[in-house]
Amino acid sequence: MRRTPVGRQTRARGIPEATVARLPLYLRALTALSERSVPTVSSEELATAAGVNSAKLRKDFSYLGSYGTRGVGYDVEYLVYQISRELGLTQDWPVVIVGIGNLGHALANYGGFASRGFRVAALLDADPAVVGSSAAGLPVRHMDELESIVESQQVSIGVITTPPGAAQQVCDRLVEAGVTSILNFAPTVLTVPDGVDVRKVDLSIELQILAFHEQRKAGEEPEDEPSAEEPVRERTPGPVRAAAAKLRRAAGAAKEAKDKGETDRQAVLPA
DSSP 238-259: HHHHHHHHHHHHHHHHHHHHHH
Percent of the chain at pLDDT > 90 equals 59
Sign of CA dihedral 116, 122, 125, 130: positive
SS3 109: coil
Lowest mean per-residue pLDDT among 7-11, 67-71, 76-80, 242-246: 7-11
Residue 163: CB atoms within 10 A of its CB come to 12
Would you place residue 68 in the very low, low, confident or very high pLDDT band (cuts 50, 70, 90)?
confident
Nearest-10 Cα torsion for 203, 204, 208, 211? 70
Per DSSP bridges, beta strands 40-41 and 74-75 are antiparallel
pLDDT of 168 reads 97
Strands (DSSP E) along 12-156, which ranges?
40-41, 74-75, 93-98, 118-125, 134-135, 138-142
pLDDT bucket at 72, cuts 50 / 70 / 90: confident
Element (H, E) at 112: helix 112-115
Of the listed ranges 79-93, 122-136, 226-240, 246-260, the one predicted with least confidence: 226-240
Q: How many CA atoms lie within 13 A of 157 on its CB side?
A: 19
Strand runs labelled E in 110-244: 118-125, 134-135, 138-142, 157-160, 181-184, 197-200
- Give the pLDDT of residue 48: 95
Stretch 47-56: mean pLDDT: 93
What is the tens place of the pLDDT at every residue in 192-236?
999 999 999 988 888 999 999 898 888 866 666 655 555 555 555
Cβ contacts of residue 31 below 8 Å, gap of 6+?
A: 80
26-35, 216-225, 238-247, 261-270: which range is least confident on average?
261-270
CA-to-CA distance for 226 and 245, rounded, in angstroms? Answer: 10
Q: What is the mean pLDDT of residues 148-161?
A: 95
Per-residue model confidence (pLDDT) at position 164: 93
Question: In this model, does residue 6 exceed pLDDT 60?
Answer: no
Quick one: average pLDDT of 152-162?
95
Q: Return the percentage of the chain with pLDDT > 70, whole number.
A: 76
Choice among 18-27, 67-76, 232-241 with the minimum mean pLDDT: 232-241
pLDDT score of 11 more than 60: no
Q: How many CB atoms lie within 10 A of CB 87?
A: 18
Mean pLDDT across the chain: 84
State pTM to two decimals. Answer: 0.68
Q: What is the pLDDT of residue 271?
A: 46
Averaged over 20-32, what is the pLDDT? 94
CA distances from 137 to 97, 120, 121, 134, 149 (A): 14, 11, 11, 6, 17
pLDDT (average), residues 114-127: 90
